[in-house]
Every structure is written in C-alpha cells, then in structure tokens.
Amino acid sequence: MRLSASFGAAMASTLAVCRLHMKGRGSLSKCLQKVDTFLHRTIGTNVVAVKEEREGCKSLYGVQAARQEQAERSVLVSCHARTNEKNFLKYLSRHGDINKYFFYESYGMYAVVEFANRESLASLLEEAAIPSISHESMVPFKSRLLSLRNLGSADAPNQRSGQQCQPQTTIPINELIQRLSREESIEQQITSLTDVYQLTEENSRLRFLVCSLLKDIAAAYFPECTINPFGSSVNGFGKLGCDLDMFLDVDGISGRNAKMPKSGLWLEYQMKRASSERAVTQSLLSVIGDCVDQFGPGCVGVQKILNARCPLVRFAHQPSGFQCDLTANNRVAMKSTELLYLYGELDPRVRHLVFTVRCWARAHGITSSIPGAWITNFSLTVMVLFFLQRGSPPIIPTLDHLRDLAGPGDKNVIEGNDCTFVSDFSKIQLLSNTETLEKLLCEFFEFYSTFAFNRMSISIRKGNEQNKPEVAPLHIQNPFETSLNVSKNVNATQLDRFVALCQESSWLLHQSDTNTPRGGNAEKAPTPWGLATLLMPSQVAGIKGRKKRRREPASERIKSLLESLKNTNQHKKS
C-alpha cells in the first residue's frame, strides 16, 4: 500500500489509512453481533470461531474470519481514471475512518475502500443516490458496488490523479523469463517466481469482497448463509488471475448440526422436503444463479451447470475481473483447501515448489484453464506434496499422521468420509530436512521421470505408493474420498507428455549451460538460464531438438534417465 506524496499529514490524522486493524476475538465477535439493517436486509452475522494462532501460523479459519469481517466493512467503487485520490478519500471519510483503500484497473478504474466501522458504511450507503435514467429501465437492487459521479470541477482534466493502481494480473511469461534470468541462483529464481505470481494482499481482499457482495444477494433468501472462497484463492497456492471458487454455506440452517432439546415443548420451522441433498443443492444454486444473473451488478455470462458431479453456477464478475464458480454443499473441497493450506504453512519450500511446478506445467500446456484430459492444478499440487513426503527424511507428514495428531474438536466426517486432521499446528513435529529448492526441483523431475505410473497410485494419506486399484493411466487417490481418483480425467497422452517433460527438464537442469547464470546487463536482455530455461517451451522441446545440441558428459543418473526415455519410446512403437 503506497500513499502519494501529496496525500499528506493533514489526511493522516483523520484517516487511519494503511493500518490493518486485525481485531481480536472479543472485538471481532462484538462487531459481528451488531445487526446491520442497511439495504433493508440483514447482513449475515455468522461467526466463524477464530482459532488461536500458534507459532506464527494462522489457521485458515482465522484468516477467513478476519478477511470476511474486513470485506463486510468494504465497498467497491467504480471511478474515473482521473479521480483525484485526495478528494475521493476526503469525500468518503465524511462517513468515518477508512482503514485501508487501494485502486486497480479492470475494464475501468475501481477502488476498494474498507471503513473502520460498519456504521460508516451504512451512512455512506444511506447517502448514495439512485441513478436517474430517463430512457432505460433498471433492476432496483442496491449493493455495495457503487459509481463515483462528479458534476463539479474538482478533478480538472489536466490534474494529476495521484492514485497508484495495484496490479491484479500476472506479468507476461516473457517478462517473467527475463526477470528470472537476472537472478543469481536457481534458489532465487524459485522464490522470485513465487513473489511475482502469488496473490497479493489487495487481490486477496478483493476476492473476499466479491464473496461478500455475492452473499448480500444470497442473503435475501438465506440471511444466515455465508459465502467463502476455497481452492487456490485461499489455499496459499493461488496465482494472480486464478479463478474464484466460492462455497455457499447454508449449514447453519440445514438441520445437519441441529441440537434437539431433551424434553419439554419447542417450536421448529416447517421446511419443504426434497428427494436428496443433491436436489437441494441444485435448486438452491438454480435460484441464486437466477438472482446473480438478474440482479447482480457486474455479474455477466451466468451459466448454471447443475448436472455436474459438483453442481455450480459459473459467471464473470466484471468489476474484479474474476471468473467465478459458485458451489454449495461442497464441504469436502473446503477440507481439501484447509489441508493444502496447512501443508503450505508447514514449510516455505512447499509453496515455492508448488508454485514453480504449477507455473512450469502451465507454460508447457500440461495444465489448462479449459476442462479436458489434462492434469489439473489440484492433482499437480497433490503430486508435489506426495513427492515431499517421499524425501529422506520427509519434508511434510502424511495425512494419516495428521489425522493421528487430531484432537477431539478436529473430528470431521463428511458424508461418511473421514476428513479429520489436526488443526493445531504446534502439534506437528517436522523432521530435519535441509535440502535446497534447487535440489528439490531436480529431484521432483527425476522422481516423476521414473515413477511406475502403470502400476502405482499416489496417496498423500499413506505417503507411499499404493497398488493401483483401477486401470486409469494416472491414479491419484482423493485424500478424503479415498475410493476416488482425482486424476480420472487424465488420458495416456497427457501423462506421457508430463513424464517426457519431467525427463527433459531434469536433463536440462544438469547441463552447465543451463544451470549457471549467463550474464547480461542493463541494456541487453539477459540470456535465459536455470528455471527461466525450463519455462520456455522451445527449450524443453523434446528429444530430437536435444540431440542436435552440444552435450555435457552425462552422469550415471542422467544416462539411466535417457535410457528409460529410450525404452519408453521403443515400448510405444512396439
């Protein structure tokens, strides 16, 4: 968060800009207990228990509760590109202190503004005008997505606006390759890639704000619902520009956790019965999907995909630029998200390696944003985790071990599947493994270059290869629904491409003309090397291209890799 020089001390005294008020458990619940009545609707007050932070690791629930609460005090304002930052903040701060704000561009300029108090937000919304349109009709639905209008002369055309935009998308791959080529070690390249690609603080806030805006729509029917992001928006492995997976949670009113009084009289709601839980999910998503389509400002291209294994509503949220997937009754995916988040928090190498492998896979078309026979980011992440469990000593524990460490409060069974694992990070003892990221990356490629995919299944629950229970080319056991294969969609061609690319990348990392910095200066673009080379499809082009190049004497290990590659090719021909 940066302040312009012109935005001086005078404003600093009235606005608590740039300070992130992470409220403690007491004030958070106090704040959440207040029922806001703005927009003539109740804003949900679902309190998620903020779990203790231990040893510097915040539980996902803690992070989500704090982010949700911030989002509920925030507005999204479309403004003119020349909007004067100082005037804008002065205007808004008439309603109360602003905790944090930032500008970004997505089909126009937008600002996210977080107030210190909900009352300020209510006051601002009270004052906002209804747009007057003479020749069009509009849906009279008020939301926290607003437009800034200016009839005065405050923002003269030649006046500098002063605001700096926070990027919400990644830099192009060729720019990334140049940046990485300037680094001095592969280790630095890997950490630099994570720094450049990971979700920023602002992008994360925007994701929770979009969930909160959506929740306002769903709350018209289900005031107690929550809409939480899951998947890569919150699991620690999200890249700028990744989709926004959302989970509409009506568990508070589903009867699932209802407690019946032991005796005496009581009243209960009459509720319509449905044929199955899936049918409830489908009708709920169908109605909310229609509301999003008809009433949701900025929500376009709404598709209801209700017959999928996991029914969903897909749409684009234009003001944020997010591609959104709204699901309901998807609690196993929430648990997977929590598990991936936990693994990412245990050791920084986990996130770095996952980021690197995801980016490498995308650069070579191993993964894609279009559904198909390719490996998904989720499967790929599980493959990295499995590899890290196979080190000696292992860098991360198995899921079975995490389950054994669970306390009574961690017990969680979803539709018959045991999703229990420890939530108290301090109970997890890590073994001393000090391998560098460079070595781990090499070993990852070697590991999957020679993995017996034809016979073995990958299981992060057990942390070792299991016999494949079915004939699918790639078998990755679903961590919680253990009879399912998360990579059932992957065909033999895609798996072969993955293995061949692992072999090529491993080979390249052992070449001295690839694995050492290649110079370059401020004027001249640096020659790609190390990880940068691995991200260039033309460099990792297949065995034919490689044969033409001057080769270093191969080590025994690389010789055997090449041998295995040759055998695979012969096997395919026969």
Residue with Cβ nearer Mg ion (381 or 539): 381
| Residue 124 backbone dihedrals phi, psi, to 5 degrees | -65, -45
Of Mg ion, ligand GTP, none, which one sits near residue 336, judging by CB under 5 to 8 A according to partner kind?
Answer: ligand GTP
Residue 245 in the binding site for ligand GTP (CB under 6 A): yes
Binding mask 324-363 for ligand GTP (x = CB under 6 A): --------xx--xx--------------------------
Q: Which residue's CB comes closest to ligand GTP?
A: 231
Q: Please state, in angstroms and as integers, the Cα–Cα distance from residue 220 to each residue in 295, 361, 407, 431, following that order.
A: 11, 42, 37, 50
Q: Report whether the peptide linkage leading into residue 348 is cis, meaning its omega lies within 30 degrees of zero.
A: no
Q: What are residue 79's DSSP bridge partners?
A: 109
Q: By CB under 6 A, is residue 378 in contact with ligand GTP?
A: yes
> In the bound complex, what is the minimum distance in angstroms from residue 325's beta carbon to ligand GTP?
7
| Mask for 245-274, x = binds Mg ion (CB under 5 A) | x-----------------------------
The residue among 219 and 334 lying less far from ligand GTP, judged by its C-beta, is 334
What residues numbered 461-490 form the site for ligand GTP, per CB under 6 A?
A: 478, 481, 486
Q: Taking each helix axis from N to C terminus, what angle separates 277-295 and 201-218, rounded to the nearest 10 degrees?
A: 100
Binding partner of 70, given Mg ion, ligand GTP, none, CB within 5-8 angstroms per partner class: none
Which residue among 59, 64, 212, 377 contacts ligand GTP (CB under 6 A)?
377
Which of 291, 240, 317, 301 is closest to 78 using CA atoms?
A: 317
Partner from ligand GTP, Mg ion, none binding residue 38, C-beta < 5-8 Å depending on class:
none
198 makes contact with ligand GTP (CB under 6 A): no
- For the bound state, the minimum distance from the C-beta of residue 235 to ligand GTP, rounded and expressed in Å, comes to 6
Of 257, 56, 227, 36, the C-alpha closest to 126 is: 36
Segment contacting ligand GTP (CB under 6 A): 125-133, 234-242, 291-299, 509-517?
A: 234-242
DSSP letters, 288-350, are: HHHHHHHH-TTEEEEEEETTSSS-EEEEEETTTTEEEEEEES-HHHHHHHHHHHHHHHH-HHH
Contact 477, 461 (CB under 8 A): yes
Question: With respect to Mg ion, which residue has the nearer C-beta, 83 or 376?
Answer: 376
Q: Hey, is 170 helix, strand or coil?
A: coil
Is 236 an interacting residue with respect to Mg ion (CB under 5 A)? no
Q: What does the radius of gyration of the chain's CA atoms come to, in whole angstroms?
A: 26
State the number of CA atoms in the 13 A half-sphere of 102 facing the CB.
Answer: 20
Distances (CA, A) of 391 to 73, 100, 323, 440, 516: 45, 43, 37, 9, 25
Size of the site for ligand GTP (CB under 6 A): 18
Part of the chain binding Mg ion (CB under 5 A), chosen from 242-250, 290-298, 332-340, 531-539: 242-250
204 forms part of the interface with Mg ion (CB under 5 A): no
Cβ neighbours of residue 128 under 8 Å, at least 6 residues apart?
A: 142, 146
Tell me whether residue 100 or residue 317 sits nearer to ligand GTP (CB atom): 317
- Distance from C-alpha of 230 to C-alpha of 352, rounded to nearest angstrom: 20
- Which residues bind to Mg ion, rule: CB under 5 A? 231-232, 243, 245
Residues of the shown chain interacting with ligand GTP in the complex, contacts defined by CB under 6 A: 230-232, 235, 238, 242-243, 245, 332-333, 336-337, 376-378, 478, 481, 486
